[in-house]
Amino acid sequence: MWRYLKKLLFCLFLIVQNNFSFASENIMDHVKDSHEWHITTINKHHVTIPLPVILLSKDRHIECFLSSNFYDEHHNLVPYQGYVLEHDKIVPLDKERKIIDFSFTKNLAAMLVSLVILFALTLSAGKWYRTHSYQDTPRGFVGALEMLILFIRDEIAVPNIGKEKSEKFMPYLLTVFFFIWLNNMLGLLPGSANVTGCASIAFCLAFFTFCLTSFNGTKNYWGHIFTPHVPKVLWPIMVPIEVVGIFTKPITLMIRLVANISSGHIIIASLIGFIFMFQKGSVGVGTVVLGIFMILLKLLVCFIQAYVFTLLSSMYIGDAVK
């Protein structure tokens, strides 16, 4: 049901995007990354948080300034120090100049915020365990955190990797699960960023899984790839397929996460956009009810996507170490 509902709403979004500039300009701005953190708009006044711009070039070396310099008082784009912002990318006016952009973007800033929250939560839980004996039963937040950790260990790591080898990969699996889940949840807040829906961040997470799988692969794992248990006459066919499979696994991890999280943001933003575009009470009531339903459903999807990414990562690692 969820699959068909997403397809229907996504088709509605495409129709709206082709006919209303609001959808193409505002809805996609919520999904994509940018050099400023847009919070809201009040009376045509944009409330934003400027982010640091860090550029490296051979002739000017390191340049640092705020992204607010690219906007005038009416929030229109203007050049600054020989640079211009085009499609959220900093481009030098002199086309012959080459620069490397190390700037802070909205997704990076949101990711740092989530990391601070994760550190605060884990440190507070660790403090509770240091001040209590092992016989004490944790409650509240610490109890919920312990339940999730035991769930990942007993239902994901141990069945797929094995009891002896799972302890080695538990820190990574826990980090991936809580990082994705927290950023998925934070992405539902108004004015938030689409961290886990960003292809580059999802690629990095999938790349870590790829590295752990490759570096911890046993002789049996690599032998199954380069010397498969089939007649040798089929090796020219099976070996390339197995090699391609090594790279398709992390790619599917990335695409699955990006597609599911970004589509959810687009659908919810599209429903909200219907209210402003049609400006009718009946449409407003219907979209609010459907929007609340989608947000509640998205809360479940946030957990499911973190669970699926962690589960598949453990399965790939388990195949390599067994």
One-character DSSP codes across 26-80: IIHHHHS--SEEEEEEETTEEEEEE-EEEEEETTTEEEEEEGGGGB-TTS-B--B
Is residue 133 located within the same domain as residue 72? no
Core vs surface per residue 280-315: b (16+ CB within 10 A) or e: eeeeeeebeebbeebeebbeebbeebbbbbbbbbbb
Is residue 217 located within the same domain as residue 228? yes
Which one of 53, 76, 104 terminates a domain?
A: 104
pLDDT at 37: 83
Residue pair 56/49 in contact by the 8 Å Cβ criterion = no
Is residue 180 located within the same domain as residue 54? no
Q: Indicate whether 10 belongs to any domain.
A: no
pLDDT at 28: 64
Q: Indicate whether 26 belongs to any domain.
A: no
* pTM (predicted TM-score): 0.83
Domain count, the chain: 2
Which one of 85, 104, 123 terminates a domain?
A: 104
pLDDT at 19: 42
Is residue 95 located within the same domain as residue 216? no
Which one of 104, 137, 164 terminates a domain?
A: 104
pLDDT at 276: 65
- For residue 83, the surrounding DSSP H or E stretch is strand 83-86
Query: Which runs of E-coded beta strand occur in 155-304?
Result: none
pLDDT in tens, 137-183: 888 888 888 899 999 999 999 999 988 889 999 999 999 999 999 99
Is residue 154 located within the same domain as residue 196? yes
Is residue 110 located within the same domain as residue 99? no
Is residue 95 located within the same domain as residue 134? no
Is residue 160 located within the same domain as residue 231? yes
Low-confidence ranges of the chain (pLDDT < 50): 12, 14-23
Going from the C-alpha of 162 to that of each of 168, 308, 322, the distances in angstroms are: 10, 18, 8
**C-alpha–C-alpha distance, residues 32 and 197, integer Å:** 9
Q: 86 is in which domain, residue-wise?
A: 36-104
Scanning 83-137, the segments in alpha helix (DSSP H) are 106-131
One-character DSSP codes across 140-181: HHHHHHHHHHHHHIIIIIHHHH-HHHHHHHHHHHHHHHHHHH
Is residue 140 located within the same domain as residue 70? no
Is residue 229 located within the same domain as residue 270? yes
3-state helix vs strand vs coil in the chain, percent to 5: 70, 10, 20
Q: Indicate whether 290 belongs to any domain.
A: yes
**C-alpha–C-alpha distance, residues 311 and 160, integer Å:** 8
Residue pair 301/260 in contact by the 8 Å Cβ criterion = yes
Residue pair 288/42 in contact by the 8 Å Cβ criterion = no
Q: Indicate whether 161 belongs to any domain.
A: yes
Is residue 126 located within the same domain as residue 91? no
List the end-to-end C-alpha distance of the chain, in Å, as a whole number.
37
Q: Indicate whether 77 belongs to any domain.
A: yes
pLDDT at 8: 52
pLDDT at 283: 61
Is residue 77 located within the same domain as residue 217? no
- Cα-only R_g, the chain: 24
